């Protein structure tokens, strides 16, 4: 049986380099690791306790929670918007942290990686995503990091799936994440 990793991308842009990085994770997942790239974060409304009640939870939020429930671990892809985490990724974390006491993240490992145009590859946003996921109940794997700077130029003509250095880093993160997701101590 393979380890199931749910990938959440914090960019909605069609040509997003973080989405391309997530596609590379799907393509280059190690043997016995399946990466599901969640589609539909744009349809998940902003978290609101008034609509998070039985019978009123939006379908998109239910689909997100169901995908998270099937996952053994999570790989979050975060660009950096104005020095912090994109709203779409924070919103997904908020929905998955509820209902209180039943977080979809509880006991599951989470790694956060990404790429951004700046010289540090979005590390501030990735740190914020780690913080939010940890507060939401995840076992954040602080040692698993991959921040790729200069995305606009680096990936102008090369998809991340075809960049040998990126693929090596990405498969290393996936191997470690899957190892921890498959162990009882994760």
Read out DSSP for 55-97? Answer: TTS-HHHHHHHHHHHH-SEEEEE---BTTB--HHHHHHHHHHT
Listed residue (6, 23, 139) closest to 67, CA to CA: 6
pLDDT more than 90, % of the chain: 93
**1 band by pLDDT with thresholds 50, 70 and 90:** confident
- Characterize 68-96 residue by residue with b for buried, 16 or more Cβ atoms within 10 angstroms of its Cβ, and e for exposed: beebbbbbbbbbbbeeebbebbbbbbbbb
**100 band by pLDDT with thresholds 50, 70 and 90:** confident
Distance CA 101, CA 114 (A): 29
**What is the span of the domain harbouring residue 159?**
3-181
Summarize the confidence of residues 39-43 as an average pLDDT. 97
pLDDT of 185 strictly over 60: no
Per the domain annotation, does 28 fall within a domain?
A: yes
Per the domain annotation, does 16 fall within a domain?
A: yes
Q: What pLDDT score was predicted for residue 167? A: 98
Strands 73-77 and 3-9: parallel
pTM here?
0.96
Report the first-to-last Cα separation within the chain, whole angstroms.
17
Rounded to the nearest integer, the mean pLDDT of the chain is: 95
Domain count, the chain: 1
Cis ω for the linkage preceding 19 (within 30 of 0): no
Q: What's the pLDDT tens digit per position in 102-160?
A: 999 999 999 999 999 999 899 999 999 999 999 999 999 999 999 999 999 999 999 99
**48 band by pLDDT with thresholds 50, 70 and 90:** very high
pLDDT of 184 strictly over 60: no
Per the domain annotation, does 152 fall within a domain?
A: yes
Summarize the confidence of residues 67-84 as an average pLDDT. 96
Per the domain annotation, does 186 fall within a domain?
A: no
**183 band by pLDDT with thresholds 50, 70 and 90:** low
Summarize the confidence of residues 53-57 as an average pLDDT. 95
Per the domain annotation, does 129 fall within a domain?
A: yes
Summarize the confidence of residues 50-70 as an average pLDDT. 97
Which CATH number goes with the domain that contains 144?
Answer: 3.40.50.360
Distance CA 89, CA 52 (A): 18
CA 54 to mean position of chain CA atoms: 26
């Amino acid at each position: 049986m393979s380890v199931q990793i749910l990938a959440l991308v914090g960019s909605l842009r069609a040509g997003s380099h973080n989405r391309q990085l997530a596609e590379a994770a799907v393509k280059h997942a190690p043997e016995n690791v399946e990466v599901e790239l969640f589609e539909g974060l744009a349809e998940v409304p902003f978290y609101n306790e008034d609509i998070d009640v039985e019978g009123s939870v939006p379908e998109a939020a239910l689909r997100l929670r169901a995908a998270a429930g099937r996952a053994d671990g999570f790989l979050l892809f975060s660009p950096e918007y104005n020095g912090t985490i994109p709203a779409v990724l924070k919103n997904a974390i908020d929905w998955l942290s509820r209902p209180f006491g039943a977080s979809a993240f509880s006991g599951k490992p989470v790694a956060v990686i990404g790429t951004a145009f700046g010289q540090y590859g979005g590390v501030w946003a990735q740190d914020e995503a780690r913080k939010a996921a940890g507060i939401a109940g995840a076992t954040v794997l602080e040692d698993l990091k991959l921040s790729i700077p200069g995305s606009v130029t680096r990936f102008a003509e090369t998809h991340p799936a075809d960049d040998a250095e990126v693929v090596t880093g990405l498969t290393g993160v996936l191997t470690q994440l899957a190892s921890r997701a498959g162990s009882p101590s994760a």
